[in-house]
Structure 1
Amino acid sequence: MKEPTKKLIKASGIVHGKRIGYVVIKVNGTVTFQKELASEHLSIFGIGTFLSKACVDQLNNKGVAKFTSLQCNHIVNTGSLTLIEGTTRMVLSRGQLNIRKELTADQVKARGLIRAKSVEAEQVELHISGRCEIHSLKGQSIHVTPDLLTLSFTRQLFCQNIFGEDIHLYRTKADFVQGSNVHIGPHCRIQQLHFTIDYTIHPTATVKTILKI
């Protein structure tokens, strides 16, 4: 006999014990998970708070989610997602993404608002729609472009350090940028630029110091 699918659907309250080995967990209201959680699919339509480590294959957040530690293969966020720290293969965000400490990923695609202390990924695509802040941004390929679906006069990315190989920036203000091929796009303000192969600077951008390394 086939074992029944292990599911958990919560509308409100506090979950005190561990929730391990689930196929589906859904949060429809305001729910706090105090212990470790593991599930193939986690869907949040309300407000979910996860105080311990969460291991998930696929996360779909359409509400407000806060994770202390998240390990996940695929993240889709169209709400507000806050991570203290997280590891994932793929992040697709069309809402608000907040990283208190560090996000490590293979690929990050974010459209909208992002605030993070540290983001490190093989590929990073940011389509900014407002004021975004990333203290440290690292990746092989980094592309920062405007979100053409929104009209905003405040969209700009603020960084302290950007490290990559192929870097394309738009409306980025950074203290330090280092890469192989670096393209400083419109309305960027860069203090130091270090490059190994080539660079370009848009006429509306400013770079104070340029050094080939």
Structure 2
Amino acid sequence: MKEQYNLSLNGSGNSSGGVYNNVKIRGEGTILDDIDCDVFKTYGTSEIQGNIKTRQVTVFGETKVRKDLHSENVKVYGTLEVGGMAAVTRTKVRGTFDIGENFTGEEIDVAGGMNVKGNLEAENFNLNGACTIIGMLNAGKINIVLRYEHSNVEEIGGEKITVRKKSSFFPFSKHGGFLKTRVIEGDEIYLEYTKADVVRGNNVTIGPGCEISVVEYHESYKNAAQSLVKEYKQI
């Protein structure tokens, strides 16, 4: 078996792709082709002009992947942009993560921003911040905490779906952020500051700040804060 070497770029430089053990970029670095490695870390600015397959990605700064990303763990403390699709088992974002196509994973934890130009599918999706998902957000458990930015998702589906406003130290301040979506469908649904055409679920609770065209429920429905719901019906 051929020995795998480490790759380290310091300052400003580039390297061809290949198979490595650990890859570290400090400063500005460019990988000119596909790369397969155990650990990929950036401290500064980096670009991968092909695909990346790795066990762990850690970004302190800014990283751009032109094509696809496959990883077991991704940690972003800055900005990560993927031009193609991303398949990540566990994702932790404390900054911004942009995906150009579909995103699949198991555990997604975002405190910041996430933008997906396709569908997002996961076991658990936790967001404290804002997201834009052009396609469908589908997860077993979805927990969204809204801040000041707006979030837009075409459709949302899951077992337990919770959308809440971030608590404020200033009780009389107006909260600008809201979630806008076309359809929300799940078993247990609780919503705050959400604008939706259709909300469909087993047990549905509408909290403050919502504007819903139609609520369809199986067992229970509650408009806890007298939000605007144009029509509701048991099905």
**TM-score, normalised with respect to structure 2:** 0.84
- Gap regions ≥5 residues in structure 1: none
Structure 2 residue aligned with 1:142, among 151, 161, 167?
A: 161
Give the C-alpha shift of residue 158 in structure 1. 1.0
Q: Give the C-alpha shift of residue 138 in structure 1.
A: 0.9
1:166: which partner in 2?
188
Q: How is 1:121-200 mapped onto 2 (pairs within 5 angstroms)?
A: 121-130=139-148, 131-148=150-167, 153-200=175-222
Preserved CA contact (<8 Å) 2:43 2:61: yes
Q: Which residue of structure 2 aligns with residue 81 of structure 1? A: 97
Give runs of aligned pairs for residues 36-75 of structure 1, distance below 5 A: 36-67=51-82, 68-75=84-91
What is aligned with 2:137?
Answer: 119
Equivalent residue pairs, number? 211
Alignment CA distance shift 1:63-1:149 (3 Å): farther
RMSD over equivalenced CA pairs, Å: 1.8
One-letter amino acid of the counterpart of residue 175, structure 1? D
Give 1:150 deviation, angstroms.
Answer: 7.4
More strand by share: 1
Equivalent in the alignment of 1:8: 23
SS in 1 for 2:68: strand
Letter matched to residue 145 of structure 1: R
The percentage of aligned residue pairs carrying the same residue is 20
Segments of structure 2 that go 5 or more residues without pairing to the other structure are 7-20
How many angstroms apart in 1 are the aligned matches of 2:117 and 2:90? 19
CA drift of 1:71 comes to 0.6
- CA distance in 1 between partners of 2:99 and 2:204 (Å): 30
Match for residue 42 of structure 2? 27
Q: For residue 46 of structure 1, give the secondary structure of its aligned residue in structure 2.
A: strand
Taking the aligned partners of 2:220 and 2:163, their CA distance within structure 1 comes to 18
What is the CA distance between 1:137 and its match in structure 2? Answer: 0.9
Q: Which amino acid aligns with 2:114?
A: L
1:105 equivalent in alignment to 2:122: yes
Distance in 1 (alpha carbons) for counterparts of 2:110 and 2:165: 15
Cα deviations across residues 68-123 of structure 1 (Å, max 9, x unaligned)?
Answer: 21111100000111112210001100011111211110000000112212211000
2:16 equivalent in structure 1 = none
TM-fit CA distance, 1:205:
0.5
